[in-house]
Structure 1
Amino acid sequence: MNVIQTIILLTTFFIGGQCLECYVCLDQGDNSGKCKQTIKTCEQGDDMCLTEIVWGTTPYWSQGAQKQYYVSKNCATRKHCEKLKSKYMRSCTHIWYEDWKCAECCAGDRCNYYVILSGSTAGSSVIILASGLSFVFLARRFLI
């Protein structure tokens, strides 16, 4: 085997070994079972793990139907992730009486194990929590 064939073989080995792994499931009622047990080695070019959360009635609407969560996970490209996040941004309200959809993306093997809040929502929660703790600390200091 010559040097060029060796380099091609090693490059193929290392590129093939660098594929991302994501949890995958489709329209599951929660983030357990299949959504935490089924792992897929992503295709070349898929560099993100995608999670979609939908809150709403069953696909075939009927009067008085109960709302529920539908969780889907898959491999995706960064471009596809950003497109879905932008598409769902207006409807990602988490308001219980409205139908809504949210998408989350992450980069790293099996990073979509948990269903998480978006970064902006989590960031706002941290600020609110820090403000509340500061208020309690100052109130205790000056009142005691």
Structure 2
Amino acid sequence: MDLRETVCLLFITFIFLPIQICKGLECYVCTNQEANTEKCLKTIKTCDQEEDACLSTINWGSPPYWSQGATKQFYVSKSCASKKFCEEFKKKNMPSCTYIWYQDWKCSECCSGDRCNYFVTLGSSSVKSNTLIISLSAITLLCMFYRGL
């Protein structure tokens, strides 16, 4: 291994990786919104270190405030959570979001990756952050350019 390759490896190891590790996960956050719009799509939080997942929840039921004769409707909540909490919370709710008009219900979904909870229940758990892939590609190109390939 020559000096140039060593410099590239040091750059990747000591500069790039700590930045990715220290960077906190970002999730959309909102509470009891009537739809997945406005606040649920515009409010972003950098999660705490122990929070490594984004949690999305849909409630079907009466409004959170009491109102005589109120009709049932959907409420969307999004937050940061640990994967363990997220999976436990998910088990307490319906296994999938199934519309049952005559009873109250709740379903949730967990995902990993920055802002992966943009959509509420459309398979966001399969969406991963592509920052790492793009950065590694850029570093590889930089090393190739530096070596003169």
- Aligned ranges for residues 19-58 of structure 1 at < 5 Å? 19-58=24-63
Q: CA RMSD in A?
A: 2.5
**TM-score, normalized by length of structure 1?**
0.67
Secondary structure, counterpart of 2:76 in structure 1: strand
Is residue 93 of structure 2 the alignment partner of residue 105 of structure 1? Answer: no
Residue identity in the other structure for 2:22: G
What percent identity do the matched residue pairs reach?
59
8 A Cα contact 2:55 2:109, kept in partner:
yes
Unaligned runs of at least 5 residues, structure 2: 1-13, 125-149
Secondary structure, counterpart of 2:87 in structure 1: helix
Secondary structure, counterpart of 1:22 in structure 2: strand
Q: Kindly tell me: are residues 91 and 100 of structure 1, through their superposed partners in 2, closer, same or farther at Cα, counting changes over 3 Å?
A: farther
Q: Kindly tell me: are residues 110 and 91 of structure 1, through their superposed partners in 2, closer, same or farther at Cα, counting changes over 3 Å?
A: closer
Residue identity in the other structure for 1:112: N
Aligned counterparts of 2:96 and 2:121: Cα–Cα separation in 1: 17
8 A Cα contact 1:91 1:101, kept in partner:
no
Which position in structure 2 is the counterpart of 1:74?
79
8 A Cα contact 2:95 2:107, kept in partner:
no
Is residue 17 of structure 2 the alignment partner of residue 15 of structure 1? Answer: no
**TM-score, normalized by length of structure 2?**
0.65
